Amino acid sequence: MIMIKHPRRLLGTGIITLGTSTAFCGTALAAEDGVADFFKQVLSNATYQSEAVVTAFREKPDDPENKGIEDEQIEGWSHLSMDSNSFIGDYWSFGLGLEAIASTYHGGEQGLFTAPGQGDGQGKYVDLSRLTLQYLGDSTEILIGKDTIPMGVAEIYSPSDLYNSSNLINPQQSTDFGIWQARTDFYLGSDRLTAIVMPLTESGPSASELSRWYARGSSGSDFAALNLPALPGGMTADVKDAGYDNDDPGNWGYMLEYKGTATGIDYFGSAYTGPSPYPVLKNPPSGQLGPFLVEYPRANILSAGAALTHESWKFYSEAVGYWSAHEKDDDVARMMVGTKYRETTFANSIGFNEITPIIEFDKEWRLDEQSHPDYSTSSADARPNPENVIAAITVTVNDEWKFGGAYNRSIRDQDSLTRLFVRYDPTDNLWMSLTAMDFHGGDGTVFGRYRRNDNIAFKVHYSF
């Protein structure tokens, strides 16, 4: 999610993102001739995307527990991204991705650029999403730097996509950021074997305690408002981030992944060991009331998935096994099955281009509960979609108009999220959308805690 320190004019968010791009260009052109020529090439190869969103909320978050939380019923958000790839000789490539974000959300963006290995989870006005040096051989590729790690075959939610970082200050407008890595890809015909070392563990930006998207400590890595066994009733927990020891290679993340193809089938399998993608809470030392420490304990993860495409149908499934070291977290198995259908016959008969429904089912099984004596709060609340049905439909009327919606329902907790949208694409480079979001459920549920955040959002997206 996003960052200016309490701006109050929506227009200012767009000015900041445009100003950031101008400042970056000016710095590059002022460099020495050789470097300047190279960055001229980087900029000339770049593509840009700009977004501006105005969101109107139905209610103010004015219940007693939300005292002091932002209560504006109109919020603004803007985003300018740059992505560039430039060759250095015949076999080397330089990649650069920059994200400039500004919003009116409290406690959002602050400062420029996140230092490698940073763990404070603070969003920036300007940050790197990609910075890569890549060797492109005939059958081998080597990449060093910051980049994403594509995972999974699912259309909506992938339980195996656990290793990327996102800016979640505004969950409705999440922005993907890469992770620092050293990666080697070996190509075996149409298949690929990938080995990745992730030496830096970082905290992705998330909603601050002043934001209306902060779930009062009951979601993500925030545990301050939970009913903790080690804390007397009525007391507020002192919760701190345990941080990361990135200097020790024993704390780094390591992954092997194999991606293959066959006639009509795409499949993958991966093995990972390293810091867990899910947080747990460590109790204070014996006899003390604080602080509690948020940790990401080491874990071993196996993932596999496959997608079968036949005519207008796509069938796909993923499975994940998660084992925590030293019983600091639950051991779990997760599964997802889904299908997608592209319907054109009936759509054409009523004057539409296409109707595309998707449905997925997610299920988690707890194989072993957290049992380490120093830990009493597992990552159960941070693991999304434990038993959910997710459905979506998109109706493409023509090249300019489409509409549809999505629905995520938790069978276990009886909470849900409903999304409806209409989108207009007047040109290839410009589109606009109007989206309505409705959250439903009890106070302690994932979606129910955001009941006062029902909203309508208008977005303008332009690429150039």
The pLDDT, as a whole number, for residue 15 is 32
Q: DSSP per residue over 112-174, as a string? A: B-PPTT--S--B-SEEEEEEEEEEE-SSEEEEEEEE-------SS--TT--S-EEEBSSGGG-
Q: Is the pLDDT of residue 239 over 90?
A: no
Is residue 7 pLDDT above 60, yes or no? Answer: no
* Residue 11 belongs to some domain of the structure: no
Distance between CA 394 and CA 402 in Å, rounded? 7
* 20 compared with 280, residue with greater pLDDT: 280
Counting Cβ atoms within 10 Å, is residue 42 exposed (0-12), middle (13-18) or buried (19+)?
middle
Q: What pLDDT is stored for residue 241 in this prediction?
A: 82
Domain assignment present for 26: no
Average pLDDT, stretch 411-440?
A: 97
Whether 8 is in a domain gets the answer: no
Lowest mean pLDDT among 117-131, 146-160, 416-430, 446-460: 117-131
Determine, yes or no, domain membership for 267.
Answer: yes
On whether residue 6 sits in a domain, the answer given is no
pLDDT digits (tens, 9 = 90+) for 172-182: 999 999 999 99
| pLDDT tens-digit series, residues 433-454 | 999 999 999 988 899 989 989 9
With respect to residue 7, please indicate whether it lies within any of the assigned structural domains. no
Residue 51 CA to residue 418 CA, distance in Å, equals 23
Residue 242 neighbours by CB under 8 Å, 6+ apart: 282, 293, 294, 295
- What is the pTM for the complete model shown? 0.86
**pLDDT (average), residues 279-303:** 89
Handedness of CA 178, 151, 463, 402 (dihedral sign): negative
Total domain count, the chain: 1
Number of H-type helices and E-type strands within the chain? 3, 24
Q: What local confidence, expressed as pLDDT, does residue 204 receive?
A: 80
The CATH number of the domain holding residue 111 is 2.40.160.10
What does the pLDDT average to over 373-385?
91
Task: Identify the sign of the CA torsion 106, 112, 113, 114.
Answer: negative
Q: What is the pLDDT of residue 429?
A: 97
Domain that holds residue 254: 48-463
146-162 burial, b for 16+ CB within 10 Å, e for fewer?
Answer: bbbbebbbbbbbbbbbb
Q: Measure the CA–CA gap between 434 and 170, rounded to whole angstroms.
A: 17
Separation of alpha carbons 294 and 25, rounded Å: 40
Kindly state whether residue 20 falls inside one of the protein's structural domains. no
pLDDT at residue 27 above 70? no
Q: Mean of the per-residue pLDDT values for the chain?
A: 87
Residue 352: the pLDDT is 97
In a domain, residue 226? The reply is yes
Q: What percentage of residues in the chain have a pLDDT greater than 70?
A: 86
